[in-house]
Structure 1
Amino acid sequence: MFDLDQLFQKDSLIPVIIQDEETREVLMLGFTNREAVERTLETRTAWFWSRSRQKLWNKGETSGHFLHVKKVLTDCDTDTLLYLCRPDGPTCHTGARSCFFNPIMEE
């Protein structure tokens, strides 16, 4: 089993990228702490730390659009996580499939 202490050596909050497990589309970016990671591993749904509300939240708890976590990976520096998920519906609070839809530059 992976030692979760390795993830939080530099900071108590780390970024977590959410990707659709099937399409590999990036759906969102959130932040997580150790407790949120532990809950994610236990429930197999994505938990995050809300920096604005200063509390844990389970994606989908109000909308019903849960992110079912199928695989958890860390980057080479063990300071960022990647969750491959199966979403129940739109991921973005706006109702969009992904939170990434505002272009800044396109070729």
Structure 2
Amino acid sequence: MTQAKATSGFLDQVCWNSDGLVPAIAQDFNTGQVLMLAWMNRESLALTASEGYAVYWSRSRKSLWRKGESSGFQQRVHEMRLDCDGDTVLLLVEQQGGIACHTGRSSCFYQRFSDGGWQVNLPVIQDPEAIYK
């Protein structure tokens, strides 16, 4: 993603929900694998645009969350896209270290519905206890 200065006008084109948030999908730039879904507020989207690395809003902590700040597995943003309704952001990212999920997997979407239940279909790459000390 080019690090051009973005005007705040691009933020006004986003349809923020009643909490001032928009869902953001992170997708691997090279493989197309959907890595995770998180939330962004105006500040986190502006920081992502200016810094070139994914910054989200943590609803549980009620604070900014720089992806990889504790694990080291940052997401370098190649492209940002806004859907047709303006209510979802898509980040095309390079997932550094290959781990996007706090469970130590490549994607947060590691469970597939099969035979009437959810089945784990992605292995743990690294033990989360080793990642989050």
Q: TM-score range by the shorter chain?
A: over 0.9
TM-score normalized with structure 1 length: 0.92
In the alignment, the residues of structure 2 paired with residue 93 and residue 99 of structure 1 have an alpha-carbon distance, to the nearest angstrom, of 8
The within-5 A match list for 1:50-69 is 50-69=58-77
Unaligned runs of 5+ in 1: none
Measure the CA separation in 2 of the matches of 1:69 and 1:25.
Answer: 15
Which position in structure 2 is the counterpart of 1:4? 11
After superposing on structure 2, the runs of 4+ consecutive aligned residues of structure 1 that deviate more than 2 Å are: 8-11
Letter of the 2:96 counterpart:
D
Partner of 2:104: 95
How many residues in Structure 1 have an aligned counterpart in Structure 2? 106
Structure 1 residues 82 and 91: CA distance shift in structure 2, 3 A? same
Give the unaligned 5+ runs of structure 2.
Answer: 1-5, 116-133
Percent identity over the alignment is 43
| Cα root mean square deviation, aligned | 1.5
C-alpha contact 2:78 2:94 (8 A) present in aligned 1: yes
Matched, 1:15 2:23: yes
Written as runs of structure 1 = structure 2, the 5 A alignment for 1:32-71 is 32-71=40-79
How big is each residue's C-alpha offset from its partner over 1:70-106, in whole Å with a ceiling of 9 and x where there is no partner?
Answer: 0000000011000000011200011100000112247
The structure with more radius of gyration: 2
